[in-house]
Amino acid sequence: MKNRATKTVFLLLACITLAACGPKWHEAGQDGFKLITQKGGATLGYNSAPLLTVDGYAFKDLNRNGKLDPYEDWRLPAEERAKDLAAQLSIEEIAGLMLYSAHQAVPDTNLTDQQVKFLTEDNLRAVLVTTVESPEVAARWNNKVQTLVEGMGHGIPANNSSDPRNETAATAEFNLGAGGRISLWPTPLGLAATFDPALVKRFGQIASEEYRALGIATALSPQIDLATEPRWSRFNGTFGEDPDLDTEMARAYVDGFQTTPGTKDGWGAQSVNAMVKHWPSGGPEEGGRDGHFNYGKYAVYPGGAFETHLKAFTEGAFQLEGGTGKAAAVMPYYTISSGIDPSGDNVGNNFSKYVITDLLREKYGYDGVVCTDWGVTNDNRAIEAFDGKCWGVEGLSVAERHYEVIKAGGDQFGGNNDKGPVLAAYRMWVKEFGEESARARFEASAVRLLLNSFRTGLFENPYVNPAVSAEVVGKPEFMQAGYEAQLKSIVMVKNHGGALPRTRSKVFVPQRYYPQTPGMFGLWMGAPAHWDYPVNRELVEKHFDWCNSPDEADFALVMIQEPYPGTGYDVKDREKGGNGYVPISLQYRPYKAVYARSESIAGGDPKEDFTNRSYKGKTVTTYNEADLDLVIRTKKQMGDKPVIVVVNLSRPAVLSELEPYADAVLVTFGVQNQVVLDIVSGSAEPSGLLPMQLPADMRTVEEQQEDVPHDMRPLVDADGYAWDFAYGLDWAGVIDDARTAKYRKP
């Protein structure tokens, strides 16, 4: 018995020892990949990479050399892993990391020939995803991409990214119990109108979960340009004109996107890298003309407020409350920040050593990825052309522009799928500074770029389960959160005589004229000009009784858009002998620029034989003047009965033309029509505040300084209320709460 007991104890100890030394992981097949879960270790997703077992844990042998390299060891710090891998890479592989693809739509799960080429031949690993057919399709496409690159070289995963994709359309429907393709939120300007950083952080948390379910690990957002120029067409992508609000919103947004709860440093498998844009702010564009075009290439600082524009970066996105510390990446804007560089070098921000190295890296200590805006190294054919944006370096070759970006301190080239110019830039560095210096410079960029993939867990598991994607993206609780944010973003600026809310009553909704307008890419947007109702009748009838005649109605609901004047440049003016520059008007009626500058602050281009870009004395007509006519006509038809005007804004507008004809005015920033009806009917109460001033007239617009916030005279309505920053009404009157106490200016 004694010998038998001894043998039993020995066998038991042997089993315990074997168990302790044996595998600590379990493998299961998934839809398109294999998943390894391990107690106390990282979750691994893989397809073709061999596995290594060390101390009972599983690791992927991504470079297939039969040993565990530091970069393959998920137990090590991300920075140590990135440095190890960067040192192993060839210059051709590093050049691939420095590429960022042009926009890639995902209509199905198949990779295009172009995608296969830039992933295999050019070693590209940063892919910009645009439209996707569905969450499941996006997941399967991602898995095919990851399977392809896992089998190559060092097995570096793709770091897929996206521009903002959660903004809604007016006609989108919401059903409380149903999900959607993705949760729907107001524009960033609408988020700013909530004056609620906690809400913005929650948006980031939800959106990041949806992004990761789509196979997206980098967000090309937030756009934290300080929008001090009211005519700028990209105003709606910002958090408005106030530096304090912009700073807090920037911090909340990045914290929400980048933080994985429960991790030591905030980074993890739920994190999405945030690429903040556009350093050092694209807000102060002269005359409001946008830097996507040659005619908008200059940002100006007549008020000397350059430092004010940096605050959202230096005190917001670079000083996070969460463990990730700072935004993972920064994108400079296209513009030439005129007169800022002490050396007098007047080049686009992406090419400026002063802007990127002297300020961003050295003065403010930013050591993350710097990625150019899209297409800055390409040629520009004409002043009005939407193509290359090589401002200030038009005379250089494409390869030389790449070299200038690298010398300035940049790491990555937005919109370039071709490694050729990057390798040419490497050879230029070798010629000027030597091989050792060139290798060190390129390796430094490689480390920064790889860090964003290591910290987000892509080297462990870049795959996503399509079934989980379908469940997560647009799930009901996310849709509900987005809908509530839309409600909170609506600003009531006028409510004369308590015209709102309207309980169940008869409503007249006039048809609106929809003009066809030119878009950013030089094409006409939307359907041909036509008349139509701005809101679905069935949706309206959930709240009100629809009337076809104003005589039968108790009130009218007029839904319009802000004035749309064009882009500030007109080829026809140039063909008639002018300089091509015309006003950007924020009013509906034709506008003559009587108070514009006689001499522009900045100017000059190889394609122009003049430097004065003034448009003083010229007249511009908006495309949608009919919107104002509609308000006036409806008021005449309704007589003493209330007219409720809902105007959707993407930037400030001169609403003094319509204010006398409206009993109530609601300002929206990209919301569903259903949200508007909830406010009008009293199902919800307005709580939003203006994230910018609404100017009294175009004179104050012309006389304000492009770089200075809060420097316009606001509209004052018939009730004596100024439509100023942080102003808004609820049912009781002017909102006066903790938000206004904190942000409203004296």
CATH number of domain containing 670:
3.40.50.1700
Give the model's confidence band at 10: pLDDT under 50 very low, under 70 low, under 90 confident, else very high.
very low
The answer to whether residues 166 and 226 belong to one domain is yes
Is 270 inside any structural domain? yes
Q: Which member of 122, 225, 242, 663 is catalytic?
A: 242
Within 10 angstroms of residue 587's Cβ, the number of other Cβ atoms is 22
pLDDT tens sequence across 655-708? 999 999 999 999 999 999 999 999 999 999 999 999 999 999 999 999 999 999
For the CA atoms of 175, 181, 183, 185, the dihedral, rounded to the nearest 10 degrees, stands at -90
Is 604 inside any structural domain? no
Instruction: Write phi, then psi, for 194 (nearest 5 degrees).
Output: -75, -20
The answer to whether residues 258 and 276 belong to one domain is yes
- Mean of pLDDT values over 270-298: 97
3-state secondary structure of 518: strand
- First-to-last alpha carbon distance for the chain, in angstroms, is 93
Within 10 angstroms of residue 55's Cβ, the number of other Cβ atoms is 9
Q: Which member of 122, 196, 225, 373 is catalytic?
A: 373
**C-alpha span between 478 and 468 (Å, rounded):** 15
Active site residue 373: yes
Question: Residues 6 or more apart from 46 whose CB is under 8 A from it?
Answer: 33, 34, 36, 60, 150, 461, 463
Give the model's confidence band at 8: pLDDT under 50 very low, under 70 low, under 90 confident, else very high.
very low
Sheet holding 729-730, edge to edge: 545-547, 506-508, 555-561, 643-648, 664-668, 491-495, 729-730, 733-734
Q: Which ranges constitute the DSSP H helices of 264-382?
A: 306-311, 353
Is 584 inside any structural domain? no
Q: For residue 568, is pLDDT > 70?
A: yes
The answer to whether residues 417 and 295 belong to one domain is yes
The answer to whether residues 23 and 143 belong to one domain is no
**C-alpha span between 148 and 119 (Å, rounded):** 8
The answer to whether residues 654 and 704 belong to one domain is yes
Active site residue 697: no
Give the model's confidence band at 181: pLDDT under 50 very low, under 70 low, under 90 confident, else very high.
confident
pLDDT at position 746 is 84
pLDDT at position 174 is 56
**C-alpha span between 476 and 185 (Å, rounded):** 13
pLDDT tens sequence across 91-104? 999 999 999 999 99
Q: Which domain holds residue 396?
A: 94-472
The answer to whether residues 158 and 265 belong to one domain is yes
Question: Residues 6 or more apart from 540 whose CB is under 8 A from it?
Answer: 507, 509, 546, 557, 677
Pick from 534, 530, 560: which is nearest to 657 by CA? Answer: 560
Q: Which ranges constitute the DSSP H helices of 241-344?
A: 243-258, 306-311
Out of 472, 491, 523, a domain closes at: 472
- Mean of pLDDT values over 600-613: 96
The answer to whether residues 50 and 155 belong to one domain is no
Percent of the chain having pLDDT more than 70?
95
The answer to whether residues 333 and 363 belong to one domain is yes
The answer to whether residues 100 and 49 belong to one domain is no
Exposed / middle / buried, residue 484 (Cβ in 10 Å: 0-12, 13-18, 19+): middle
**C-alpha span between 692 and 725 (Å, rounded):** 5
Count of structural domains within the chain: 3
Out of 472, 507, 538, a domain closes at: 472
The answer to whether residues 278 and 408 belong to one domain is yes
* Positive/negative CA dihedral, 142, 148, 149, 151: positive
Helix (H) or strand (E) run with residue 482 in it: helix 476-489
- Mean of pLDDT values over 707-719: 98
Report DSSP state, residue 313. Answer: I
**C-alpha span between 422 and 472 (Å, rounded):** 39
pLDDT tens sequence across 368-422? 999 999 999 999 999 999 999 999 999 999 999 999 999 999 999 999 999 999 9
